[in-house]
Amino acid sequence: MNFDQTESITLELEKQYESRREWLSEKQWLEIFPEAKEYFVERLEELTERKEQLVKEAKRKLEKHKAYQYQNEFDRWFKAKTISVFDLQPIKEINREAQRIACFIEPPKETEGKLTDYQMQVAKSRLLKQIYEQMYGQVRGYVVRCPFHAGGQEKHPSLNIKGNFYYCHACGATGDAIDFVMKVRGLSFKDAVLSLQ
């Protein structure tokens, strides 16, 4: 058997594996491997500690900023912007991850089948790249094959997946993670949100 043959067999196996692989959310994984919960508890502690440090540091900088006599308004604005980008943004990201993880440790209760704000927040904070990979397998980078045109078989990837959003340069499909799951898996809004917990 030559190299090309071996490679094509490997590709074929990979294709079969991907087509049969079930789509599992992190929560479903946790139901299969409850041991992972310990990891989430540790991770949450780590995040909480890190957040406390960052908050302390950001507060210190903000106080200093408030007390400082700036030469002009631009300097004042620029400094405030810098603090917001470099100090406040990472805190927001940690908060988002912490909320997501807290949900795995103790799933919020549903009331009469209605979605809670918490569930909405968790669904909205999911990264599209991660969702895409759970459905289609690992990808490199943030431009991937678009499932919304060419029957999902396009040759040159044109779907941008960034944060919680997607946008296709070829067909113009756009939306957030909830929207993506609704369209690709044919789910209702509520089921899509629930599948992203």
Distance CA 176, CA 161 (A): 9
* Owner of token pair 């030559």: 2
Q: Where do we find the tokens 């904070």? A: 125
**123, 146, 178, 181: which one contacts Zn ion (CB under 5 A)?**
146
Say if residues 144 and 155 touch (Cβ distance below 8 Å).
Answer: no
Report in angstroms how near the CB of residue 71 gets to Zn ion at its nearest. Answer: 50
Contacting residue, 27, 50, 65, 149, with Zn ion by CB under 5 A: 149
Asked if residue 170 binds Zn ion (CB under 5 A), the reply is yes
Q: Is 148 in the site for Zn ion (CB under 5 A)?
A: yes
Q: How far apart are CA 34 and CA 105, in angstroms?
A: 10
Between 124 and 183, CB nearer to Zn ion = 183
Question: What number of chain residues touch Zn ion (CB under 5 A)?
Answer: 7
Interface with Zn ion includes 27 (CB under 5 A)? no
CB of 188 to Zn ion, least distance (A): 23
Smaller CB separation from Zn ion, 9 or 171: 171
Helices and strands (H, E) in the chain, number of each type = 9, 4
Give the CA distances from residue 88 to residues 92, 95, 122, in Å, rounded to whole numbers and listed in that order. Answer: 6, 11, 20
Which residue among 120, 171, 185, 189 contacts Zn ion (CB under 5 A)? 171
Which positions touch Zn ion (CB under 5 A)?
Answer: 146, 148-149, 168, 170-171, 173
